[in-house]
Amino acid sequence: MAFEGLTERLQKTMEKLRRKPKVTDADLRETMREIRLALLEADVNFKVVKDFVKTVQAKATGAEVLKGLNPAQQIVKIVNEELTNMMGETAAPLNKAPHIPTVIMMVGLQGAGKTTTAGKLALKLKEEDQARPMFIAADVYRPAAITQLQQVADSIDVPVFEMGTDVDPVEIVRQGMTQAAIQKNDYVIIDTAGRLQIDEALMDELVKIKELTHPNEILLVVDAMTGQNAVNTAEGFDDQLDITGVVLTKLDGDTRGGAAMSIRAVTGKPIKFVGEGEKMENLDVFYPDRMASRILG
């Protein structure tokens, strides 16, 4: 599972602190040093770590925590609060359009889990909101992409609008939106093309689709296993598209997890969902406070 190494190290540090009858300034400094190393080791962005340590240290010192009762416990509480803040404070719900359809654009690099996540999200909307979503297949560069979306869609009984691979994706989306209006679908989920890396042609196309549809959500799907690349990808997509949220996939994998924890702090954009498995049911709303507690163990 993600965060195992980090949890273990943080627990050790906190345990050491708890055993001290009195926590001195030197103890606090040592604790902060260990936390800093643990976060860096877990691949949390170095700048995010720096700010985090500074804040925790200031709170622990400023509030006269060390002189109070149970200083160790209070420091754990501060660390928990700041981990929560780092990841976004509260859960960020999906934006909804005042009039149907709500348009959700799924973007991300190839293999991040875009198509799978589109399916998971549609299923969630169907089950929790009794929604009637429709997919638009706008990835025309890999013939297998449309087939894959179709398979995902069939498994959850959601219609797909597709025009094969010979039509311009922007035109496909335009016609798909008309189709959704006729069918009165309340959600349109656009599966856009992924690339191995961010390139201008990909971004231009995404910008055009954005301008055409004015999406309520531009969800960037990132693979938590890709470490700092996930952070760089998020910055790149956000610069070009002004994304509305992030979905972190593959958190069930053996990732150190720190990069994922940094995305919110680096981009300012909320993590809205996490994927923790390949099945259609494996998509959860992201709660920063629960994640912080899980990390602290």
Q: Which positions make up the binding site for GTP?
A: 108-115, 191-195, 249-252
Radius of gyration over alpha carbons of the chain, in Å?
Answer: 22
- Asked whether position 280 contacts ligand GDP by CB under 6 A, the answer is no
Positions at the binding site:
108-115, 191-195, 249-252
* Mode of pairing for the β-strands spanning 283-285 and 271-275: antiparallel
* Only segment of 10-18, 44-52, 105-113, 175-183 that touches ligand GDP (CB under 6 A): 105-113
Q: Give the Cα separation of 297 and 289 in Å (integer).
A: 12
> Which residue from 159, 227, 236, 253 is in contact with ligand GDP, where contact means CB under 6 A?
253
Residues in the chain: 297
Longest dimension (CA), the chain: 72
Q: Give the Cα separation of 52 and 151 in Å (integer).
A: 44
> How far apart are CB 188 and ligand GDP at their closest, in Å?
17
> Which residue from 93, 111, 143, 297 is in contact with ligand GDP, where contact means CB under 6 A?
111
Which positions from 173 to 192 touch ligand GDP by CB under 6 A, shown as an x/- string?
--------------------
Q: Which is nearer to ligand GDP, 39 or 263 (CB)?
A: 263
DSSP state of 254: S
**What's the N-to-C CA distance of the chain in angstroms?**
13
> How far apart are CB 250 and ligand GDP at their closest, in Å?
4
* Only segment of 53-61, 62-70, 207-215, 250-258 that touches ligand GDP (CB under 6 A): 250-258
Give backbone dihedrals phi and psi of 43, rounded to 5 degrees, phi first: 80, 20
> Which residue from 71, 88, 101, 113 is in contact with ligand GDP, where contact means CB under 6 A?
113
Residues 44, 49, 55, 61: is their CA dihedral positive or negative? positive
Could you tell me if 53 and 32 are in contact, meaning their C-beta atoms sit under 8 angstroms apart? yes
- Asked whether position 264 contacts ligand GDP by CB under 6 A, the answer is no
State whether residue 141 is helix, strand or coil.
Answer: coil
> Which residue from 34, 252, 284, 289 is in contact with ligand GDP, where contact means CB under 6 A?
252
Residues engaged in binding ligand GDP (CB under 6 A): 108, 110-116, 148, 194, 221, 249-250, 252-253, 275-278, 282
